[in-house]
Amino acid sequence: MPELPEVETIRKQLESQIVNLSIEDVEIYNLRSIRRHDSAKEVIESIKNSYITKIGRRGKYLLLYLQATSSFVVYNTVIIHLGMSGQLLIQETGSEFKKHTHLKMQFNNNKFLCFVDPRTFGEVFLDNCEDGFCIKLQNLGLDPITQNFTQDDFYKMISGKKTKLKNLLMDQSFLCGIGNIYSDEILFESGLRYDRSPNSLSEDEVKSLYISIDKVLKKAIDKGGSSLRDEQYRDLFGEIGQFQNYHKVHARQGKPCCKCGQAIIKTKVNSRSCYFCPNCQN
């Protein structure tokens, strides 16, 4: 599933491609992709002929802010979650659209934004959002890139938590945007095991975790996110990410640790793969 760095990569690309364009037409081919709404007509009429004013992000969700040109429009934001296999692609008029394209927006420059999702776990829905706050996303925790929180704030956030560290990092109500890949990489960077209890962390260890979250996510964004072996994650132009080439533990079972040379171990945490160095992470 695309995580914060992948979604932020797409957000930045969308910002350069579709801001200030008007949506001339919308086509929906699979109602599961808009399952929060009663009909395709509701979505189409709320989006069509609106202008894209800016592109935001909250965790793994993309926010396309709209300026309405019709009195019918009651929403100001299109929210997109890519799910397990979703892709957003910019395509030209006359190009061949990919299989499993479930929604297309046509802009006034004759380009299309296409939502492609083979496994249909992703979705597109509408809401009214202000400064990144949306009612339908109100249960999300802080975004570790766009929302400022200090080391002291983080210490207070983590104090009293009973779930293990990997599970906590992946809890979207705690910090939104971190998933299986980046929880592994963050924990390795901070030198902490996946099964440590937050209550067992020293002040220095909390500081290390706090710094590692920012460091790993920003480097991953700089490299365009991670595409694993299936290359399912693609950016807006169909290109794969490059941060997988910098992974230190994730998907590196049996390979030597870049710090100590000991073999990376793979285990399971709540049915999810987890990779760590048994020597460097304590």
pLDDT tens-place string over residues 34-54: 999 999 999 999 899 899 999
Q: What percent of the chain has pLDDT over 90?
A: 92
Q: What does the pLDDT read at residue 256?
A: 98
What is the assigned CATH class of domain 4-137?
alpha beta
Buried b (16+ CB within 10 A) or exposed e, 243-260: bbeebbbbbbeeeebeee
Other Cβ atoms within 10 Å of 133 Cβ, number:
12
pLDDT band at 70 (very low <50, low <70, confident <90, very high): low
Structure tokens at 215: 């460091």
The question of whether 2 is a catalytic residue gets the answer yes
Residue 213: closest CA among 168, 257, 252:
168
Measuring CA to CA, how many Å separate 217 from each of 64, 69, 116? 22, 37, 25
Q: Write the DSSP assignment of 124-191 as a string of letters.
A: EEEE-EETTEEGGGTT--B-TTTS---HHHHHHHHTT--S-HHHHHH-TTTBSS--HHHHHHHHHHHT
The question of whether 54 is a catalytic residue gets the answer no
The question of whether 198 is a catalytic residue gets the answer no
Are 127 and 75 in contact, with CB atoms under 8 Å apart? yes
Whether the pLDDT of residue 201 is over 80: the answer is: yes
- Cα gap 213→192, rounded to integer Å: 12
Whether the pLDDT of residue 23 is over 90: the answer is: yes
Q: Write the DSSP assignment of 108-123 as a string of letters.
A: TTSEEEEEE-TT---E
**E-state strands within 198-271:** 265-269
Whole-structure pTM value: 0.96
Fill in the DSSP letter of residue 256. B
Are 243 and 216 in contact, with CB atoms under 8 Å apart? no
How large is the average pLDDT for residues 168-190? 98
- CATH, range 151-276: 1.10.8.50
pLDDT band at 71 (very low <50, low <70, confident <90, very high): low
What distance lies between CA 126 and its chain's CA centroid?
A: 18
**Residues shown for the chain:** 282
pLDDT band at 72 (very low <50, low <70, confident <90, very high): low
User: Of 27, 266, 272, 278, which one is the catalytic site residue?
Assistant: 272
User: Of 48, 57, 60, 252, which one is the catalytic site residue?
Assistant: 60
Domain regions of the chain by residue span: 4-137, 151-276
Please write the tens of the pLDDT for every residue from 215-259. 999 999 999 999 999 899 999 999 999 999 999 999 999 999 999
**Beta-ladder partners of 268:** 273
Structure tokens at 211: 């710094």
The question of whether 57 is a catalytic residue gets the answer no
How large is the average pLDDT for residues 116-130? 95
User: Of 3, 6, 8, 123, which one is the catalytic site residue?
Assistant: 3
Residue with tokens 């929180």: 149
